[in-house]
Amino acid sequence: MAQITKKEVDVVVCGLGWAGSLMSIELALAGLEVRALERGGERDYPDFAYPKPADEYAYNVRNKVFATPKEVAVTVRYDTTQTALPTRKWGAFAPGTGVGGAGMHWTAVLIRPTPTDIKLKTYVDEAYKPGILQEDMRVMDFPFTWEEIEPYYYKFELICGQSGTTGNLRGQILEGGDPFEGPRSEPYPLPALEDTLNNVMFKEAATKLGYHPFPNPSACVSRAWKNPYGNQIAPCNYCGYCSKYPCLNYSKASPQTAVMDALKRMPNFSYEVHAEVVKVVLHDDKKTAKGVIYYDVDGNEVFQPAKIVVLSSFQLYNVRLMLLSGIGKPYNPITEEGVVGRNYAFLSNGGATLFFKDKNFNPYATAGATGQMFNDISQATSTVRASASSAARRSTVRRPPARRSPPRCRKARRTGAWATKRVWKSGTATP
């Protein structure tokens, strides 16, 4: 029952997904001693070798690389009159786990917000008359400007080998890209992915209607890429197994392909898997932290002292850790006081499936991010997008018509109050 105490490090990183791996490498490059703790298991290249990932039943249906409801019990209720009940089977969302987190198997559609998105309250106040927003709406401004944040969007795009067509380069509107995007300081690092037949049809139809379609910004890279950390990412081979799958071709930007190879080589970085952080230990001032308590693979309770504690276990679990650790004021949905746990945002989408008897689509020949989209409808809050493979269903032709749970959301991992409507999904030609 005795608690093991580890040697103090400069930084302990709780959760080794995108945020955790990027924090780790940046702080390690700055010379700090960094130790990362990951609740889940190792996820490394032997797991990704073809043909393992080409298994739709295991990954898409049985959520092979996701956390299980047993491991990460979540209770859900629809309003405060109900008692929250445990989720036994993932439906609308499924949390990631393991080294790489959900970043290992995301669909790699990497879209920037616009300058309007990050200052939405200001925009509404300026563009509409007072009182247009209902009183309980939570529209706010983010506490940074486009000029401050844009260089970091670009930095992450370099890390990922972002592939697409530039629409606005330092204020100059360029053909083929999104004319509504915020001004880029630099063009996309790589050209866009190839369009599939359904994308070409969508693009033609949208253009004829006066919209401005452009290729989905993609972190499935279109060319061989070496990123600023020295990691190499291979060009996508349009295998069709993307969302919910590890990439069998090293082509999808992920913590593994974009960060971990360089990070693991650094002598001032170490990490432990099957290490579940349960509490951040605070100093007596209750405003600063001195380390974390976690349970290791053998079930031992361990105290990891650190000068800096980074919570990077995904918003849902970061909030849980903060609540368990007594950090900040918990959000109270009745009195509307407190911040921790407030405004958890989730993405929903819908769509329509169209069938064309006279056309042959080969819907399995696609990347995860393949698609065309346009932002004409409302630049700030909604996009209409054709996506050939976001469904990542190669062997099913259509979804079951009746659903009891909300449609499964593939973009749930990206935060932000985006309402997206997918209006086009390819189907195979009926014989």
Partner 1 sequence: MYGGNKGMKAWIAIGFPGARASFTEWVKQHNVPYPLGPVSLLGERA
Binding site for partner 1 (CB under 8 A): 50-51, 53-55, 57, 194, 196-197, 200, 235, 237-241, 248-249, 359-362, 364-367, 370, 394-397, 428, 431
Q: How far is the CB of 370 from partner 1 (least distance, A)?
A: 8
Residues 415, 416, 420, 426: what is their CA dihedral angle, to the nearest 10 degrees?
-20
Q: Which region, left, alpha or beta, applies to residue 60 given φ > 0 means left and ψ of -120 to 50 means alpha? A: alpha
The long-range contacts involving 204-213, CB below 8 angstroms and separated by at least 24 positions, are 206/372, 206/374, 206/386, 210/376, 211/374, 211/376, 211/384, 212/178, 212/179, 212/180, 212/374, 212/375, 212/376, 213/372, 213/373, 213/374, 213/386
**N- to C-terminal Cα separation, the chain:** 66
Of 31 and 431, the one with the shorter C-beta distance to partner 1 is 431
Q: How far is the CB of 394 from partner 1 (least distance, A)?
A: 6
Q: How far is the CB of 399 from partner 1 (least distance, A)?
A: 14
Q: How far is the CB of 40 from partner 1 (least distance, A)?
A: 24
Query: Does residue 98 sit in helix, strand or coil?
Result: coil
Of 12 and 239, the one with the shorter C-beta distance to partner 1 is 239
Q: How far is the CB of 191 from partner 1 (least distance, A)?
A: 14
Of 223 and 403, the one with the shorter C-beta distance to partner 1 is 223
Q: How far is the CB of 392 from partner 1 (least distance, A)?
A: 12
> Nearest CA to 186 among 233, 209, 152?
152
- What is the residue type of 37? L
Of 385 and 394, the one with the shorter C-beta distance to partner 1 is 394
The β-bridge relationship of strands 371-378 and 214-215 is: antiparallel
Of 253 and 367, the one with the shorter C-beta distance to partner 1 is 367
Q: How far is the CB of 19 from partner 1 (least distance, A)?
A: 29
- What is the residue type of 76? V
Q: How far is the CB of 97 from partner 1 (least distance, A)?
A: 23
Cα atoms in the Cβ-side hemisphere of radius 13 Å centred on 125: 7
Q: Which residues are within 8 A (CB) of 246 and not within 5 positions of it... i.e. 6 or more apart?
A: 43, 47, 48, 53, 65, 100, 104, 105, 254, 256
Query: And the tokens for 360?
Result: 């042959």
Of 196 and 312, the one with the shorter C-beta distance to partner 1 is 196
Q: How far is the CB of 408 from partner 1 (least distance, A)?
A: 20
Are 321 and 313 within 8 A, CB to CB? Answer: yes
Of 14 and 247, the one with the shorter C-beta distance to partner 1 is 247
- DSSP letter at 40? S
Of 106 and 364, the one with the shorter C-beta distance to partner 1 is 364
Of 238 and 418, the one with the shorter C-beta distance to partner 1 is 238
Round to whole Å and give the CA distance between 356 and 163: 29
